[in-house]
Amino acid sequence: MSAEIKEQTGIDAVLIPGGGGIFDIKQDGVLVFSKHKLAHFPESGEIARLLAD
């Protein structure tokens, strides 16, 4: 996923392992995606699109 983000946005993403099924994406400390809140795992390209906006 970090390679996809880099390729599509130029952003060097830092992936931090978690646990308990939590999958959150933050940009500059702001939550832009939460698997828990949206009830789905991100589709291909979804995170890169969110970060580019």
**Residues in Cβ contact with 46 at an 8 Å cutoff, skipping those fewer than 6 apart:** 33
Instruction: Give the model confidence (pLDDT) of 3-49 as tens digits.
Output: 999 999 999 988 888 888 889 999 999 999 999 999 999 999 999 99
Q: Residue 18 class from Cβ within 10 Å (0-12 exposed, 13-18 middle, 19+ buried)?
A: exposed
C-alpha–C-alpha distance, residues 33 and 30, integer Å: 9
Single pTM value for the model: 0.77
Instruction: Give the model confidence (pLDDT) of 32-43 as tens digits.
Output: 999 999 999 999
Give the dihedral sign, CA 23/26/29/30. Answer: negative
